[in-house]
Amino acid sequence: MDSIMAPGRMEYITGKKPDGCVFCGGSAREEDLVLYEGKSCYIMMNKYPYTSGHLLVIPFRHICDIEETNAEEKMEMMQLTDICVRTLKKAFTPEGFNIGLNLGKAAGAGVEDHLHIHVVPRWLGDTNFTTVLGEVRVIPEDIIMTRNTLLQYFQRREER
């Protein structure tokens, strides 16, 4: 039988969960996972990604439902989602994307008290039996390497 090592997964399963909101607190900035900040929303890497380059678009305001967003937040969330797609296309040449919101625990929200959009780059063959049978995700690249690749693209955007 083959074994697949996914050491980052154990940290998620057994690690201490932070007090309060993971998006409002300083942990994302401390770990340098924030790639871009807009006026009302920001882009952050998912600490526990489905695949390399999995990004989140998050309003600064602590809100949990799309109905609570104002016009500026709605507009900027879509603009930043567009920036994510364009940046990921340049950086990693994915063959497709999954983009979506998980509203509520029943819908699969891991962080149900703070609204966020998932932007997940996809490639043919990037998923297989391991996720279904082994409850393991195979991430082909270390998160810091992914961050360093993406950060250069986001920094170029800010220089314009």
- Known catalytic residues? 116
Q: What is the pLDDT of residues 118-132, one digit of tens each?
A: 999 998 877 654 554
| Higher per-residue confidence, 69 vs 29 | 69
* pLDDT higher than 70, residue 15: no
What are the helix and strand counts (H, E) for the chain?
A: 5, 5
pLDDT of the residue at 47? 86
Letter string b/e over residues 61-76, b meaning 16 or more CB atoms within 10 A of that residue's CB: eeebeeeebeeebeeb
| Higher per-residue confidence, 158 vs 43 | 43
* pLDDT higher than 90, residue 160: no
pLDDT of the residue at 135? 61
Q: What is the pLDDT of residues 36-70, one digit of tens each?
A: 999 999 999 998 888 889 999 999 999 999 999 99
Q: Which domains does the chain have, with CATH numbers?
A: 21-159 (3.30.428.10)
Read off the pTM: 0.78
